[in-house]
Amino acid sequence: MIKHIVKSALLFSFVSLTGCASLSIEPWVKPYERQNLADPIMRTSRHPIANMHVAHVLEAREAARGADGTGGGGCGCN
């Protein structure tokens, strides 16, 4: 488990650092080319209240938890 966390932290640091170092690569999608990505239909958080309910239902019925994008906080299920 600790190995997992250390590996992930290293990977994340590497990604962050190389992200800064990769300034030599021009951002390949210009701001004026992002109208499709900015369209509200592309938002995964289009309905945040529904996402929170879905996450709660699944966390109560399944053993898996985490990385679901709702910010965490636990189920409170008994």
Partner 1 sequence: MVLMEQEAVVVVVIKFKTPFEVIFKRSVKKSKLHKLLTLAVLSIVTTLSQAAVLDPDRVDVLYHNYEGGGMKIDGPSILLRKKATESVAFTAYYYLDTISSASVDVLSTASPYSEKRNEGQLGIEYLHDKTMMSFNIRQSDEDDFLAQSLSINVSQDTFGDLTNLSMGLSYGDNEIRRNGDDSFEEQSEQYRLRAGINQVLTRNLTANLSIEAVADQGYLNNPYRTVRYVDNSIPSGVGYQAEIYPETRNSFATKLSASYYLPYRAALFFHYRYFSDSWEIESNDAEIGYRHPIGDAIELELKLRYYQQSQAEFYSDLFAYQDAQNYLARDKELSDFDNITLGIGVTYMLPDSLSYGDLRSEATFQWDYIDFNYNNFRDPTAEGGIGNEPLYGFSANVVRAFFSIYF
Which residues here bind partner 1, judged by CB under 8 A? 1, 4-5, 8, 12, 15-24, 26-34, 36-37, 39, 41-42, 44-50, 52-54, 56-58, 60-69, 71-78
CB of 44 to partner 1, least distance (A): 6
Which secondary-structure segment (H or E) carries 17? helix 2-21
Cα 54 from Cα 60, distance rounded (Å): 10
Q: How far is the CB of 27 from partner 1 (least distance, A)?
A: 3
CB of 57 to partner 1, least distance (A): 6
Cβ burial, residue 70 (10 Å; 0-12/13-18/19+): middle
Tokens of 13: 């640091």
